[in-house]
Amino acid sequence: MYRMRNEYGEHFVTCGEMKLLERRGDEAGLSYYQMMENAGTQAAKMIRAYCEMTGVKPDEGEDLGKAAAAAPLEYRAEVADRHKGTGFYDTPEAVEKPLRVMIFCGSGNNGGDGFVVARLLANAGFQVTVVLVSGDPKTQDAGTNFQLLSDLPVSIIRMDGMEEDALEQGDMPDVLVDAMFGTGFHGVMRGNGLKAAEYINNCHEKHGKKVFALDIPSGLGGDQLKKKKIPCEIIKADYTITFHARKPVHMRRFAARYCGEILVADIGIDEEKLMTVEI
């Protein structure tokens, strides 16, 4: 295995290579659970850093775009360093009106990353709602992180059996997080996933709400190289927080309108050590 880069020198890995790195990392002592915790922690820091650097406040609407233009988001080391030892996710901050964050979680490990984000942002004083798009989590690590939300002031919405316009009837969130489907997604969005995607994109396009996608905007595939021939709903994110390295789809021109700005989060994988494994 060797480190692949695009024409701009940006490092990327395919989905198969990422799975191999995760497996080898687990064998070397970095558990899958710890990788999920690391991914969610980095994503939560980035979301909070965005809110700090742009001065996002509840119900600012289209003004969010102006704030972002004045202070474009880059995940800077100094922002993360500022939180070290400050109880970033241990001590809730007193705020007059907490920011509303709605996190859409699938039943796999991408949803598990979303549960970690929900826990950390709730502990940091955000008003968090988790939307279960595909029912209860189906993987052990995601299930563990979902259970950790039970003692926190996190609202849980289950889309199964939910009334058609239930999401529209509630308060609109200030920030939305897409943690529905990961890099292995194939096909097109259907059922609850489609309804969730339509709601997220409506908040983004008509109301100027900011959208973060974890690893990849739902509706795209990590190794996807061409635009799908059939019409399909894809999350339109302002920022995509991808884990460890970019994936092939992040490099494609057609995907730029969905990925927005791509931020790479370190989840603790030492690729240099694991590069001796042949694939």
185 labelled binding-site residue:
yes
201 is in an annotated binding site: no
Is 41 annotated among the ligand-binding residues?
Answer: no
Query: Is 250 annotated among the ligand-binding residues?
Result: no
Check whether 186 is labelled as a binding-site residue.
Answer: yes
Binding site annotation covers 187?
yes
Annotated ligand binding at 218? The verdict is yes
Q: Is 183 assigned to a binding site?
A: yes
Residue 90 annotated as part of some ligand binding site: no
208 is known to lie in a ligand binding site: no
Phi, psi of 177, deg, nearest 5: -125, 125
Q: 3-state class of 212 per DSSP?
A: strand
Q: Annotated binding residue at 40? A: no
Binding residue per annotation — 111?
yes
215 is in an annotated binding site: yes
- Asked whether the beta carbons of 198 and 172 are under 8 A apart, the reply is no
Block residue for tokens 């940091």: 124
Strands 4-5 and 11-12, bridge-based pairing: antiparallel
Residue pair 133/192 in contact by the 8 Å Cβ criterion: yes
Angstrom distance (rounded) from CA 53 to CA 45? 12
- φ, ψ of residue 125 to 5 degrees: the values are 105, 5
Annotated binding site for (6S)-NADPHX: 109-113, 182-188, 215
Annotated binding site: 109-113, 178, 182-188, 215, 218
Annotated binding site for K(+): 110, 178, 218
